[in-house]
Structure 1
Amino acid sequence: MVSHRRSTPSGFTRGVRVTVISAAAATAAATLTGAPASADPQDTRESAKAAVDRLYGEAERATERYNEAAERVDRLRGEAERSQDATARGQERVNRMRDALGSMAGAQYRAGAVDPALALLLSGDPDTYLERAAALDRAGARQAMTLDKLRHAQRRLAQTRAETTRALAELERNRAAVTRHKHAVESKLRAARRLLDSLPPEERATFDRASRSGRGEAPDLSGVAPGSGRAMSAVAAAHRALGRPYVWGANGPSGFDCSGLMQWAYAQAGVSLPRTSQAQRYAGRMVPLSQARPGDLVAYRADASHIGMYVGNGQVIHAPYPGAPVRYDPVGMMPVSSVTRI
């Protein structure tokens, strides 16, 4: 997770794209180093903190795009491998049919080298000739059938090869997308760290340690109505992850990003969730926030770029942002976009 502030200073837009992150970071840095002498140092520090919040938010959006692309790569890799196997099997079938046709053609050549009418005249046993002629007719029919099967097999093989080529090309495109999103995340996190390093040591330590909206302390859950059995198992698993570090692109067990924690916690309860926060918000039935129960997934921002798990008494457990371990925070730390019951 990232920014817990409800509003962003007007100097920073929320929709900054990956391609302009360097310029955005430079602008933020200039705010710190090039402020006029009359500028209030507190305002400058607040601007730096707001910029860090924004960069963390953008990093998390890029992380979810990275997760989605990585998941697609895994799926496409399986499809490409299956297509390659099908191509190899198809080629083997075609080769066997070609060998069979070659054998048939050789046998026919040897048996039919003499004109059939002349062979009948020269034959001392017409009945034997007629039996051989009937056998040749059957062999010809079998050859025609095999040839037809060969044509169909060749067409299927060409189609399978084309599908394999497309699957491999798509796989490479998505591998490239994974790399792009990885670089985007790393760039934003480096920019955020540079801004944090520009703060006085005591303020930097406070920023790294504290939640923007709470202290991350374990909430009092006495009297909370429980969720379903699997939901409570997921809550218990998430609780066991308390204190583990935020690691972008990770889904446990030693580190997590926001959607990775949700996926891992529910996996411990025997429930398979999609990898990204955007997909997780549609993994169950949506309910009003006022009816949230422990185990419900709480998605934040309109694009669901952050997600946590409701535990009761107005609290969620989540993986916040780099430098902040898995912890509890108020459910209202950011604008809630949906609540999903698994």
Structure 2
Amino acid sequence: MMRRVETRFGGLRKLSGVYGPDGSGLSGSGKSSIASKGILDNTWFQSAKVAKSWFKLSPSRRTIPPPFAGSSAVSGETWPVRTRNTAPIVIDDVRRRVSNVLFSRRLDATSRHRMIESHFARIRARHALSTEEESAIRDAMGPSRAFDAHHTFIEAGTPLNVSVLLVEGIAGRYKDLSDGRRQITELHVPGDFADLHSFTLKQLDHNLISLTPCRVVLFPHSNLTELTERYPRIGRLYWFATNLDAAIHREWVLSMGRRTAIARTAHLFCELQVRLSLVGRAEADGFDFKLSQVDLSECLGLTDVHVNRSLRRLREAGLMTFRGGRVTLHDLDGLREVAEFDPSYLYLAPHPL
């Protein structure tokens, strides 16, 4: 297939004739200056060396449009080029490839380090954490994954060799019945290990779902083994984390077994305000919360109609408003009084480990 291409890569010699992806048809310095740099056949900038050279050029010389029929923007001449049937690369694609070649590893390392800052904030809210321990935890990190909302990313009974650290979004543990009714047994916020207990269990008896768009970091169990053997105190910190999960479970059982609908609704929002504030995601007057009322009903063991009624009563009492994915707390003390909320089960001032 024949195409014509314009170029503004002014530092390269103009060629004449027809040539292929391997540089056939080229001769002399023209072939070495273009074919050897991987610019033919839509394979521009596949090496860091070429990318660095490209960035050294002036902006007017490094703008390369996609292949199309037309004249050269520099000389007004047309050059025939033989290419495969591949989609043309637009300038944004070129820039993206260049960035990937040069900076992807550095940016990935930086973003990965920042990713788990919420995890460190969660730990520091209760215990001291040394720089060496932070570095060791970062070194144990595996790849990250992103999930759309309402995606079950771990199913009960699946063999597991990684544990999942939530860094963005809201996730939940749930179990369901054969008729499809579902009970969410705990919510996870950024900084939480959603399934640290899988480190010893190697599978779960419940499912894990992303209730909003989520990003997680995987920690291979082999890395966790090495981490906790080299740093026994980190092992104790993570043991504390699983005990804290159990304490939250017990409080949820009490809510669903004994609290009224309005009290258990108020209690959930009081708990979330504390847990999200520890990782910088909430203030005293509110926080973002993208769950639907149906999701809330599955957390609270109520119908969505009953949840709607409870939210209306809390709003009419001037305590809180839940609208448009945002919880606004008008009277936090009053809300805690309705919920009989005692944050001691969150162990905000534990003994040193």
TM range (shorter): under 0.3
* Structure of greater Rg: 1
Normalising by structure 2, report the TM-score.
0.23
Q: Which of structures 1 and 2 has the larger relative contact order (alpha carbons within 8 angstroms, sep 6+)?
A: 1
Normalising by structure 1, report the TM-score.
0.24
| Greater share of residues in helix | 1
